[in-house]
């Protein structure tokens, strides 16, 4: 139908204005169109019509700006006696609420209406063919004179249609033509079309959500017909109870919307908590039917904490079995509405404890350093990570004490077992530090984080990857220099490592080779600047091609807060993440995240290692200097800056300082094995081109344009098959793009192959060029 895209108001206006059509050869142009409406069915919609019908007048109290006035004023307006503006090319229309057509008969007319009586002879009536008043129902529902919509007749429909008409007028016919327009549908229109959010708004804010009496009446009817909520009898608290129970399909839909919009309705939970709730317990099982009650969740949290406390003094096996059982009973609550908004933190902590149990199920395979490192990178770091997260989940001292006691009961022993195995491996094989290959691409910023342990580096990596496809992250393991303290480790990951050496061991820090003076923060920065590195204080500004930046020290927080440091793990990771984003936004192509050492974290303190008078403990707490020539009962490891100097390491997970929960400096996988992350934006690899290919014997030279810092060049028989490489060594192009590769394969001259450019970031091929080995023609 041609009218399908038209608004209802357009169809109504056209119907009214058609009455002004006439045959000028046989008729006189109508002077006025009279619109009687005895039952005032169109009254609420007239203001909407007046916005698009400047010729529409209304019988009523004197109000010229609104084209409204008594009969005598309207008669004067029609004759031009009083000044009133309306389009002179339009026939004026007078809407008469409360006046039926029968009132225009002389015998039934009223004195106040008499000035309009003569106009019936000069104009036309907007009425039905039967002379009855047009109503919204006849206009919309009548198939012969109206639009023919599906509207069932009835008192409730007619009354609701009157209220809904202002909204319906602005709807398109296509929106209504296939609808069954009953009272419920009409009330929904009046209510604004979003009954569920209106209901949630009522539970949250009461009558304040109603814009006017019309909307309140419509919503009142909807709430009762759809949800069984009677606003004449029920209160907000009654509605909150129905929401919490959400027994019917209709209320289930409301609950689902509340779950998605919890923060939009902050007072609803308060209303639910005002409801009477009878405790409901199914031992060992989560009651899905109770998910709507925060009181039930509170009750379960209290019971879970009690159960966990009772586990703390059990054997390690009993603790592990108890955690596994309790996790199964309470894990479902974590994903409920209350759990997602921080009200199931004991259940969440229990889930983290269970992940530690799962990590420890994978036993160590072997006893060498490499085998222990493989164990740690596969599952060991996950136990450390979840230990931190279990403590972070706690909300008060009582909860934290409970989780610490449990960790002491099973996590502590496992860490001691692995650490002792690592110390034995080091004693047998030697400490695995070999130094770091300090070569950085142009446009690199080194971000130094003091104490970025392996597990936290993994969390940072996961956050970067999850946040956006924009970031590419590659990781590289690094054995920290020994002892694992800042003075020893920080400068070993810096660009000036080649300028340093170890002579004296006052603070485990190196000295400058050229002066013999021990390095400190000031001299370190000075040497960096002399080497062309910019010390970054404002991460939002990029200067130069190489930068050194530092962020907040995890290590300092650990020393200051001890076990409470775990409460700030997410905050610390977010701070580092934000710093990386800021550096990338400033224009750095590559961010190298490095650290000096990890740390050991043992809730309820590490065992005390007695320190003889001939030894001096370090700031880290887990290493000590020995007096020269004095026997030592502790394991001794060469200082990484000078192997002639030996440093004592605390036994197992012990500390030379009493009462420590956080310490470092010693021998453990947590302290010694770290991750270096290279972060870059995925868009950093620019379009590249291979050109100027030439051969000299079996040496192939060519030039690469584009971002040469992020690619590796190779020559292959099959471009996608790395095993088909023909060169002795793949190479990164020089800074000017020039590249020279040596083909070492036998009997290959004259055969077809490919120069391949591979992204350093994701190892994907970004360009290739077919060549003939040893052929200088056509290149």
Neighbours of 171 (CB within 10 A): 15
If DSSP codes are grouped into helix, strand and coil, which group holds residue 297? helix
Q: Which of 309, 7, 388, 342 is nearest to 165 (CA)?
A: 7
How many Å apart are CA 609 and CA 633, to the nearest integer?
11
Instruction: Write down the pLDDT at residue 777.
Output: 62
* CA quadruple 239, 243, 248, 250: dihedral sign: positive
Is-contact 120 104, C-beta < 8 A? yes
End-to-end CA gap in the chain: 67
Burial of 371 from C-beta contacts in 10 A (0-12 / 13-18 / 19+)? middle
Determine the distance from the C-alpha atom of residue 137 to the mean position of all C-alpha atoms in its chain, rounded to a whole number: 49
Burial of 319 from C-beta contacts in 10 A (0-12 / 13-18 / 19+)? buried
Angle at alpha carbon of residue 86, lines to 84 and 91, rounded to 5°:
120
DSSP-assigned letter for residue 471: E
Using CA atoms, how far residue 249 sits from 37, 227, 253, 255, 495, in Å, is: 42, 9, 6, 10, 65
Backbone angles phi, psi at 584, to 5 degrees: -60, -45
Instruction: Write down the pLDDT at residue 1.
Output: 45
Q: Give the largest Cα separation in the chain, rounded.
A: 133
Q: Provide the token pair at 283.
A: 């031992």
Instruction: Write down the pLDDT at residue 682.
Output: 67
* CA quadruple 597, 602, 605, 606: dihedral sign: negative
Q: Provide the token pair at 662.
A: 């956080």
Determine the distance from the C-alpha atom of residue 79 to the mean position of all C-alpha atoms in its chain, rounded to a whole number: 68
Q: H or E element: which one contains 210?
A: none
Using CA atoms, how far residue 316 sits from 319, 347, 383, 412, 435, in Å, is: 5, 20, 16, 10, 39
Burial of 417 from C-beta contacts in 10 A (0-12 / 13-18 / 19+)? middle
pLDDT means per 10 residues in the chain (779 residues)?
80 94 86 94 92 94 94 90 87 95 80 88 92 92 88 86 87 90 82 84 90 82 92 95 94 95 95 88 70 94 96 94 95 95 96 96 87 94 97 96 96 95 96 82 93 97 88 92 95 93 85 92 94 88 88 94 94 94 89 96 94 67 81 90 92 94 97 95 66 91 82 89 89 89 86 87 80 74
Angular region, 403: left φ>0, alpha ψ -120 to 50, beta rest: alpha
Provide long-range contacts, Cβ within 8 A and 24+ apart, for 463-471. Answer: 463/573, 463/574, 463/577, 464/577, 464/580, 464/677, 464/679, 467/577, 469/682, 470/681, 470/682, 470/683, 471/584, 471/679, 471/680, 471/681, 471/682
What value does the mean pLDDT of the chain take? 90
How many Å apart are CA 523 and CA 365, to the nearest integer?
45
Q: H or E element: which one contains 432?
A: none
Burial of 439 from C-beta contacts in 10 A (0-12 / 13-18 / 19+)? exposed
- Kindly give, in sequence order, each residue whose CB lies less than 8 Å from that of residue 629, ignoring residues fewer than 6 positions away: none
Is-contact 66 17, C-beta < 8 A? no
Angle at alpha carbon of residue 679, lines to 675 and 685, rounded to 5°:
140
Using one digit for the tens of pLDDT, what is the confidence trace for 177-229?
A: 888 988 888 887 776 768 899 999 999 999 888 878 877 888 888 899 989 99
Is-contact 463 472, C-beta < 8 A? no
**Residue whose entry in the numeric block shows the structure tokens 């009878």:** 278
How many Å apart are CA 561 and CA 552, to the nearest integer?
14
DSSP-assigned letter for residue 664: B
How many Å apart are CA 156 and CA 417, to the nearest integer?
78
Backbone angles phi, psi at 714, to 5 degrees: -145, 160
């Amino acid at each position: 139908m041609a009218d399908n895209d038209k608004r209802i108001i357009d169809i109504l206006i056209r119907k009214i204005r058609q009455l002004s059509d006439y045959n000028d050869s046989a008729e006189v142009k109508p002077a006025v169109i009279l619109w009687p409406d005895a039952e005032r069915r169109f009254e609420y919609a007239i203001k909407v019509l007046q916005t698009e019908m400047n010729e529409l007048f209304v019988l009523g109290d004197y109000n010229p700006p609104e084209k409204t006035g008594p009969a005598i004023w309207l008669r004067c307006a029609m004759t031009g006696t009083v000044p009133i503006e309306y389009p002179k090319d339009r026939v004026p229309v007078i809407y008469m609420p409360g006046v039926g057509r029968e009132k225009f008969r002389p015998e039934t007319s009223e004195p106040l209406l008499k000035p309009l009586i003569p106009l019936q002879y000069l104009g036309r009536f907007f009425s039905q063919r039967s002379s009855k008043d047009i109503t919204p129902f006849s206009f919309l529902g009548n198939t012969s004179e109206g639009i023919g919509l599906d509207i069932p007749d009835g008192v409730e429909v007619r009354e609701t249609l009157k209220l809904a008409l202002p909204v319906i007028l602005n709807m398109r016919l296509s929106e209504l033509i296939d609808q069954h327009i009953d009272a419920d549908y009409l009330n929904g229109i009046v209510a604004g079309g979003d009954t569920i959010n209106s209901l949630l708004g009522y539970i949250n804010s009461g009558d304040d959500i109603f814009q006017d009496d019309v909307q309140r009446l419509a919503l009142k009817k909807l709430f009762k017909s759809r949800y069984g909520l009677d606003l004449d009898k029920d209160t907000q608290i009654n509605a909150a109870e129905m929401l919490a129970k959400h027994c019917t399909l209709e209320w289930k839909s409301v609950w689902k919307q509340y779950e998605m919009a919890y923060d939009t309705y902050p007072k609803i939970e308060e209303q639910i908590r005002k409801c009477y709730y009878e405790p409901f317990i199914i031992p060992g099982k989560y009651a899905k039917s109770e998910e709507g009650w925060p009181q039930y969740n509170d009750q379960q949290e209290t019971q879970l904490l009690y159960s966990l406390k009772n586990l703390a003094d059990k054997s390690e096996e009993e603790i592990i079995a108890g955690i596994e059982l309790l996790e199964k009973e309470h894990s479902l609550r974590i994903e409920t509405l209350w759990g997602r908004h921080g009200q199931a933190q004991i259940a969440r902590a229990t889930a983290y404890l269970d992940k530690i149990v799962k990590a420890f199920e994978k036993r160590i395979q072997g006893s060498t350093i490499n085998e222990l490192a493989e164990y740690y990178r596969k599952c060991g770091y996950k136990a450390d990570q979840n230990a931190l997260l279990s403590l972070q989940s706690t909300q008060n001292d009582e909860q934290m004490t409970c989780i610490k006691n449990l960790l002491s009961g099973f996590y502590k022993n496992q860490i001691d077992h692995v650490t002792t195995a690592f110390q034995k491996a080091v004693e047998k094989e030697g400490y695995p530090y070999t130094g770091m290959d300090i070569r950085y691409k142009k446009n690199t910023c080194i971000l130094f984080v003091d104490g970025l342990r392996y597990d936290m580096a993994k969390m940072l990596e996961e956050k970067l990857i999850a946040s956006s496809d924009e970031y590419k992250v590659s990781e590289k393991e690094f054995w920290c220099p020994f002892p694992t303290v800042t003075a020893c480790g920080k400068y070993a990951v810096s660009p000036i490592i080649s300028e340093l050496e170890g002579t004296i061991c006052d603070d485990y820090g190196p000295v400058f080779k050229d002066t013999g003076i021990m390095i400190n923060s000031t001299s370190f920065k000075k040497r960096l600047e002399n080497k062309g590195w910019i010390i970054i204080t404002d991460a939002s500004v990029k200067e130069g091609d190489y930068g050194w930046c530092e962020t907040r020290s995890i290590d300092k927080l650990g020393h200051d807060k001890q076990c409470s440091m775990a409460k700030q793990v997410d905050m610390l990771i977010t701070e580092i993440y934000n710093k990386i984003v800021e550096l990338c936004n400033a224009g750095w192509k590559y961010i190298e995240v490095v650290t000096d050492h990890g740390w050991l974290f043992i809730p309820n303190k590490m065992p005390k290692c007695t320190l003889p008078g001939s030894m001096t403990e370090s700031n880290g707490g887990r290493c000590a200097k020995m007096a020269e020539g004095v026997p030592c009962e502790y394991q001794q490891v060469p200082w990484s800056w000078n192997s002639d100097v030996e440093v004592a390491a605390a036994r197992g997970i012990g500390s030379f300082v009493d009462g420590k929960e956080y310490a470092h400096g010693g021998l453990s996988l947590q302290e010694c094995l770290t991750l270096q992350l290279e972060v870059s934006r995925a868009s950093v690899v620019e379009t590249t081109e291979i050109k100027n290919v030439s051969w000299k014997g079996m040496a192939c030279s060519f030039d690469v344009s584009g971002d040469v810092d992020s690619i590796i060049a190779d020559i292959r028989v099959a471009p996608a098959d790395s095993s088909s490489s023909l060169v002795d060594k793949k190479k990164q192009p020089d800074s000017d793009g020039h590249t020279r590769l040596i083909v070492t394969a036998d009997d290959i001259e004259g055969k077809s192959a490919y120069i391949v450019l591979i992204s350093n970031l994701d190892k994907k091929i970004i360009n290739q060029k077919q060549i003939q080995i040893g052929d200088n023609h056509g290149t």
